[in-house]
Amino acid sequence: DTEVTQTPKHLVMGMTNKKSLKCEQHMGHRAMYWYKQKAKKPPELMFVYSYEKLSINESVPSRFSPECPNSSLLNLHLHALQPEDSALYLCASTKNLRTAQPQHFGDGTRLSIL
């Protein structure tokens, strides 16, 4: 079991649907991350939040909309996705951005776009 919980584990959606991915951690971490991982590839950073504020956006298309409503929760809102957006979406957290430290990952949401 990981200390970062992601829901749902699997999601199938059409290109016109709106859905959200959720991530939760109760370690008191104040930095949270979204990654996208395609099969047989490394995770690619999408967004970084620090103290509930967006710190890094790696030029992600606007059909992905992150939200950090409080220090424990991170959402990724999805709208009008494309088939190439099918991937494993990983959430991670660290205590902060000030010092280099391991990121704690959830087990991801497997997203399939029809």
Partner 1 sequence: GESVGLHLPTLSVQEGDNSIINCAYSNSASDYFIWYKQESGKGPQFIIDIRSNMDKRQGQRVTVLLNKTVKHLSLQIAATQPGDSAVYFCAENGNYGGSQGNLIFGKGTKLSVKP
- Return residues touching partner 1 (CB under 8 A): 2, 4, 6, 31, 33, 39-45, 48, 50, 55-56, 90, 92, 94, 97-108
DSSP H helix total and E strand total for the chain? 0, 11
The least CB distance from residue 49 to partner 1, in Å, is 9
d(CA 64, CA 35): 12
Rg (CA), the chain: 13
Pick 9 or 18: Cβ nearer partner 1? 9
Nearer to partner 1, 66 or 108 (CB): 108
Taking phi first (over 0 means left), then psi (-120 to 50 degrees means alpha), and beta for anything else, what does residue 40 get?
A: left
Q: State the nearest-atom distance from the C-beta of 56 to partner 1, in Å.
A: 6
Q: How far is the CB of 16 from partner 1 (least distance, A)?
A: 28
23 vs 113 by CB, closer to partner 1: 23
Identity of the residue, 42 or 69, whose beta carbon is nearer to partner 1 in the bound complex: 42
Distance of closest approach, residue 86 Cβ to partner 1, in angstroms: 14
Closest CA to 108 of 39, 28, 14: 39
Euclidean distance between CA atoms 62 and 78, whole angstroms: 9
Q: What is the DSSP letter of 83?
A: G
